[in-house]
Amino acid sequence: MQVEAIQRTYRRWAPVYDLAFGRITQGGRLLAAQHVNAQGGAVLEVGIGTGLALSYYSPKVQVTGIDLSSEMLRAAERRARTLGLRNVAGLYQMDARAIDLPEASFDHVAAMHIMSVVPEPERVLDEMVRLCRPGGSVLIANHFAGRAEGWRLAERLAAPLANLLGWHSDFPIDRVLGHAGLKLEEQRQVRPFGLMTFLRFRRLAA
């Protein structure tokens, strides 16, 4: 998807995103937050959306978020204010392919359900690796083609609707595996339905 198409799509989705996708994407967000909370430190959420994971983080974890959609970011800002969260360091509108933040400035970098949305996901992954300190965690939750039992026909039927849905149902997992700067340490299918996959990587030393 191109940037303009993403912005148009998520302008439409922003008011109803939590209702439409909140429950089905909750599992990956919970796993990511549980790992971050156990380790502590600072986390960057790339594509933070409406901030669905914000309440899952420990108050001791410093959270920074970026998103391409201003409408989604406003929803995240409202959530942070409503919940009175004091551990949100900043929410910024940025393109995930060129994140204007310092190298190795986060203990954890997470991408929750955005890798099949963004243009050039390999560049996004490069940015996530750049921003994560050596020894830190890169966390990805996403739907990947062929990973969920019994859903392949639905994936094929949904593939031409990418611009309407806001994500590619036929996105292969190979596009986020094999990065030279990362070691895969955990991979699991996530409830409900096993539709989503959670990946936990360790950032290798340069």
Q: Which one has a higher pLDDT value, 36 or 2?
A: 36
User: Considering its fold, how many domains does the chain have in total?
Assistant: 1
Confidence of residue 87 (pLDDT cuts 50, 70, 90): very high
Averaged pLDDT, 138-149: 78
Residue 31 CB partners (closer than 8 Å, separation 6+): 139, 141, 188, 190, 198
Rounded to whole angstroms, the Cα distance separating 194 from 7 reads 28
Rounded to whole angstroms, the Cα distance separating 172 from 12 reads 26
- The predicted model scores a pTM of 0.82
| pLDDT score recorded for residue 103 | 98
Tens digits of residue pLDDT in 168-181: 457 889 999 999 99
Tens digits of residue pLDDT in 50-65: 999 999 999 999 999 9
Question: What residues make up the domain containing 190?
Answer: 3-203
Rounded to whole angstroms, the Cα distance separating 45 from 63 reads 7
Look up the CATH number of the domain holding residue 132: 3.40.50.150
Structure token digits, residue 21 = 């996708």
